[in-house]
Amino acid sequence: MKRYRKEKFEDLGLDTKSGNEGYRALNKDGSFNVKKENVAFFERINVFHSMVSMSWLRFFGVLALGYFLINIIFASLYLIIGTEHLTGIRGTTPLDQFTEAFFFSAQTVTTLGYGQVAPLNLAANMVAATESLLGLLMFALATGLMYGRFSKPFATIKYSSHAVMAPYRDINGFMFRVVNPKSNQLMEVEVNVTLSMKRDSESEVRDFFSLELEREKVVFFPTMWTIVHPVGKESPLFNKTAQEIIEGDAEFIVMIKAFDESFSQTVYSKSSYKAEEIKWGEKFTYLTKRHGNGVAIDISQIDATYKAELNP
């Protein structure tokens, strides 16, 4: 009886047949380069994720737009009911009446209520009561979203814009640099680098290789870290030229995991390097220098390199 042998995959859950030239699985900002088509409208909606993930400018823009739309809708309802059913409305033109109804709506939705304008009949009171309830719910939701944005753990790790193929001891090494520009402390930092490359120049199938690193884990991460993959005889890059790696449409996929002391949670960071983003025969400049009784690092020079002849 033939025993079944479980096959081990290194593809990270990415498509092994995405062999198109110029294909990139992971963007530089860590987002996946995947477009999902023909997804039902309600299946692709994720309001909470969108609101906590978008930029602060867009977030406040969405809140402001929602606030004005609600007031415009309710101001229109008050005009339909009739401004004669609201006390204190002094406007004589439709525009003046709409403006006063709009600001009355703003006072009602925030439960502020200056008392100058008040509803008189049943319809106006029902609209005002509905608006005040909606205002309470909307502001509670906005508060929750604000808290979600502030409490969301994320790693703001900065990557060098390019990698290098540089001399490393008596061989060569694939290298890139990372640094934590924030003042929060990251500990137990682990890194995983996977090489994705076409099986051959004509193939649509991609092979994935987990690259062995000089150091896969550091306990503390207060300074800049140069991550090195030694290109020895067991490396999939051994004896590969720059042109061969480019023709193989190589992509180096990086994932970093760390424990963030501020959030007391594990955070992740992702990025990638394409073959065209590798500088051959260059080495990163050493940036750490003495500063008083400690050290200083010029983070703006994370991409600084100098020429260095590769080992044969």
Domain ranges, ordered by start, for the chain: 44-151, 158-307
Q: Please, how many CA atoms are within 13 Å of residue 72, restricted to the half-sphere of its CB?
A: 6
Q: Report, as an integer, the average pLDDT of 242-257.
A: 91
Q: Report, as an integer, the average pLDDT of 153-177.
A: 91
Which pLDDT value is given to residue 150? 83
pLDDT of 185 over the 70 cut: yes
Distance CA 188, CA 178 (A): 15
pLDDT of 297 over the 80 cut: yes
User: What pTM does this model have?
Assistant: 0.77
Which pLDDT value is given to residue 213? 94
In 3D space, the residue among 310, 198, 193 whose CA is nearest the CA of residue 244 turns out to be 198
Which pLDDT value is given to residue 194? 93
Q: Which of 36-40, 171-175, 178-182 has the lowest mean pLDDT?
A: 36-40
Per DSSP, the residues of 67-115 read: HHHHHHHHHHHHHHH-GGGEET----SHHHHHHHHHHHHHHHHTT---S
In 3D space, the residue among 146, 131, 142, 154 whose CA is nearest the CA of residue 74 turns out to be 131
Q: Cβ–Cβ contacts within 10 Å for residue 201, how many? A: 11
Which pLDDT value is given to residue 93? 85
Residue-averaged pLDDT of the chain: 86
Which pLDDT value is given to residue 16? 64
The structure tokens listed for 47 are 């309001």
Q: Which H or E element spans position 144? A: helix 122-151
The separation between CA 267 and the C-alpha centre of its own chain, rounded to angstroms, equals 12
Per DSSP, the residues of 287-308 read: -EEEETTEEEE-GGGTT-EEE-
Phi/psi of residue 64, nearest 5 degrees = -65, -40
Phi/psi of residue 79, nearest 5 degrees = -70, -40
The separation between CA 179 and the C-alpha centre of its own chain, rounded to angstroms, equals 17
Which pLDDT value is given to residue 11? 66
Phi-psi region of 300 (alpha: psi -120 to 50; beta: other; left: phi over 0): alpha
Per-residue pLDDT band for 201 (boundaries 50, 70, 90) equals low
Q: Which of 183-187, 203-207, 231-235, 247-251 has the lowest mean pLDDT?
A: 203-207
* CA distances from residue 168 to 173, 231, 277 in whole angstroms, order as listed: 5, 9, 19
Which pLDDT value is given to residue 8? 61
pLDDT of 216 over the 70 cut: yes
Report yes or no: 309 and 281 within 8 Å, Cβ to Cβ. yes
Distance CA 73, CA 80 (A): 11
Could you report the per-residue pLDDT of 91-115, keeping only the tens digit for each?
778 888 888 889 888 888 887 777 7
Could you report the per-residue pLDDT of 4-22, keeping only the tens digit for each?
555 566 667 676 666 566 6
- CATH H-level, domain 158-307: superfamily: G protein-activated inward rectifier potassium channel 1 (2.60.40.1400)
Could you report the per-residue pLDDT of 126-136, keeping only the tens digit for each?
998 998 899 88
pLDDT of 198 over the 70 cut: yes
Q: Which of 69-73, 221-225, 248-252, 262-266 has the lowest mean pLDDT?
A: 262-266
Which pLDDT value is given to residue 258? 93
Which pLDDT value is given to residue 15? 65
Beta bridge partners of 213: none
Which pLDDT value is given to residue 9? 62
Q: Please, how many CA atoms are within 13 Å of residue 73, restricted to the half-sphere of its CB?
A: 13
277: DSSP letter = G
* 44-151: CATH topology: Helix Hairpins (1.10.287)
**Strands, E assignment, 261-293:** 265-274, 278-280, 282-284, 288-291
pLDDT of 172 over the 90 cut: yes
Which pLDDT value is given to residue 294? 84
The structure tokens listed for 155 are 């790693």
pLDDT of 214 over the 60 cut: yes
Q: Which H or E element spans position 260? A: strand 251-260
